[in-house]
Structure 1
Amino acid sequence: MVHQFVTLMSNMFWHVFLFVVSVGWIKQVITTPGINQSIAALVDSNSSLLTWPTHFTQGIVPKPIHSHNDYWREVPMLTAISLGVVSVEADVWQLNGTLFVGHEEAALTPNRTFHSLYIDPLVQILDMMNPKDEFTVNATSRNGVFDIASSIPLQLLVDMKTDGNATLPAVLQALEPLRSAGYLTTFSNNTLTTSAVTVIGTGNTPFDGILALSPRDVFFDAPLDNLNSSTSFSPSVSPIASTDYGAFIGWSGIGGISDAQRATILTFVNDAHSRGIKARFWDTPGWPVRARESVWNELLNDGADWLNADDLVAASQF
């Protein structure tokens, strides 16, 4: 009996001892600075080691999405860029020498101009992404808006709503701040030089006017459904070709797509790719969500290069 009592007390002693030791060890782990505490301390210090000149778009992954009617966003262009959207579209109206942005004339306002919504912000962003200092003295190319992939240009579609021949000169003039800084993709001397922004005219943009540009830093959105209409359609004139999905394909995304509808998509896409041109379908279904995503899946599986989207959050997460 005495022996059992002694054994019991001995076991209790060792359990208490081990508990005290373990509590002390846990306390030491909690109070001893580790990597998370070091990170937090460094972040709280606002150390200059944690920033760099081009971190405006830090961690944003660019995606082949086109922001249809981008000017409808609460914050045009910046919202698209924040989601990694690589292509944006602005409808422009040339009135009394000024380019206003809006879907229709009734939506125009004096302060919503091509300059205020697109040109000025782009110049500011690209100047940040292309600092002038002792490290960039010998730089021969321009960084784009995406820090993680600076060679990818932002595609800016300019949908000319007013007469194209009158609007094109105004667009060319508006682009001068980007042009003079070397930020525009340009075709000159039979050489296509990709830079931070590729501008493409659509809508009423005059094809002959684009062909006549030398050097050319505004390009033409070719008709994806009729690329045989001109032998001039090439990447140096038309980096992209677009067509109305609803008019030429028509599949709603509900039920199965027909063989004929898929064949039409493939014909358009392959025709564009054979010329080195990227394919885009606009007016794709937006609702219901399941149908919209079925159409997106079909187009991407068939080789379409751009996901035309109104809901940028949904497209960026797709």
Structure 2
Amino acid sequence: MKTKIAILKGMLALLPMVVVAKPGVDQQIAFLEDSNSTLLQYPTQFTQSIMPKNIHSHNDYWRDVPLLSALSFGVASVEADVSLINGTLYVGHEIQALAKSRTLDSLYIQPLVQILAMTNPNTSFTAEVTGTPNGVFDTSGGTSLHLLIDIKTDGVEALPFILDAFEPLRSRGYLTTFANGVLTRSAITVIGTGNSPLEQVKALEPRDYFFDAPLTQLTDPSLNTTWDATLAPIASTDYETAVGWSGIGNISDEQSANLTRFIADAHQRGIQARFWDTPAWPIFARNNIWRVLAEAGADWLNADDLEAASSF
């Protein structure tokens, strides 16, 4: 028995010593996260690590969580269809889709006020800060979020109500504004589309409600309008009408020439170009169209599938 015990002791002596590792970086990260340490918190972190992208959230209000879902993917342009009914601005594509709780104020303006309060905190460090406020993206405070307002009812009637609705953002200096010949960019750039009335928008002074110009008509003299970024930061058109390539096979020379010409017309005026209603299926065809648009210099990727667009 003593011999067996001696043999076992000898064998154990040959085994490597078990060393308890000291806590490493992963353990320290876990400790700090579990302790909810203030070292890991800072005032403007609402959109922490989200990189803004030139993606337009088509019909953004259809999403389960409008606005916030778009921001979570870094989308820098959103769109709300707006109808004026009995003095209230409701959001929805058609009358049947409207709900009393879903207003321009509840879905977009108040959430933006709250988000921008977080990206522009009032602290002892910011007491003396002046100049343009931060936008919604923590990683790029100078990026202005485009908010397209697609008026579905009479535009002349709706415009005064829409301008009044934006007062909570206007009073805080959050709206891009053109005044006294100077364009001052800020956290939110509001752009009217749909039934937005061009002549009334042109007459605004100061102007913090801009116009979505007709991309295929920037050189049309019958519109009697000088198009530039002080009136129209973007110009848009129906992709099918302007280009028409399905994304399957090769784009024709004529289709490619139209695409290039319309984008060039916009860029010569300092205006960004957007093509809406691009085909969404088949997926490989959609991706082909996105790729051709990007290579041609289109500034915004119009998308319904934000996750796919954000990883494109």
TM-score if structure 2 supplies the norm length? Answer: 0.93
Which residues in structure 2 correspond to 1:284-299 (within 5 Å)? 284-299=278-293
Give the share of equivalent positions with the same residue, in percent: 59
Count of aligned residue pairs for this structure pair = 299
1:16: Cα distance to partner? 6.8
1:177: Cα distance to partner? 0.2
For residues 196-218 of structure 1, the C-alpha deviation after alignment (integer angstroms, 9 at most, x for no partner) is: 00000000101111111111000
Which residue in the other structure is 2:249 paired with?
255
Instruction: Name the SS for the 1:266 alignment partner.
Output: helix
Which residue in the other structure is 1:9 paired with?
none
Which residue in the other structure is 1:89 paired with?
79
> Does 2:158 align with 1:159?
no
1:20: Cα distance to partner? 2.7
1:293: Cα distance to partner? 0.3
1:115: Cα distance to partner? 0.6
- 2:236 pairs with 242, 263, 286, which one? 242
More displaced stretch, 37-46 vs 149-158 = 37-46
Which residue in the other structure is 2:20 paired with?
28
1:231: Cα distance to partner? 4.1
More displaced stretch, 150-159 vs 132-141 = 132-141
1:45: Cα distance to partner? 1.2
More displaced stretch, 41-50 vs 229-238 = 229-238
Which residues in structure 2 correspond to 1:43-122 (within 5 Å)? 43-122=33-112
Letter in 2 for 1:210: V
Which residue in the other structure is 1:180 paired with?
171
Instruction: Name the SS for the 1:301 alignment partner.
Output: helix
Letter in 1 for 2:171: S
Letter in 1 for 2:26: N
Distance 2:271 2:128 in 1: 32
For residues 13-48 of structure 1, the C-alpha deviation after alignment (integer angstroms, 9 at most, x for no partner) is: 7x975x533x42xx332xx21221111111111111
Letter in 2 for 1:149: S
Which residues in structure 2 correspond to 1:203-222 (within 5 Å)? 203-222=194-213
Distance 1:130 1:258 in 2: 49
Which residue in the other structure is 2:307 paired with?
313
Instruction: Name the SS for the 1:147 alignment partner.
Output: coil
More displaced stretch, 134-143 vs 299-308 = 134-143
Runs of at least 5 residues in structure 1 that lack an aligned partner in the other structure: 1-12
Q: Which has the larger radius of gyration?
A: 1
Aligned-residue CA RMSD (Å): 1.2
Letter in 2 for 1:157: L
Distance 1:43 1:101 in 2: 40
1:265: Cα distance to partner? 0.3
- 2:182 pairs with 171, 188, 191, which one? 191
TM-score if structure 1 supplies the norm length? Answer: 0.92
1:138: Cα distance to partner? 2.2
Distance 1:78 1:296 in 2: 24
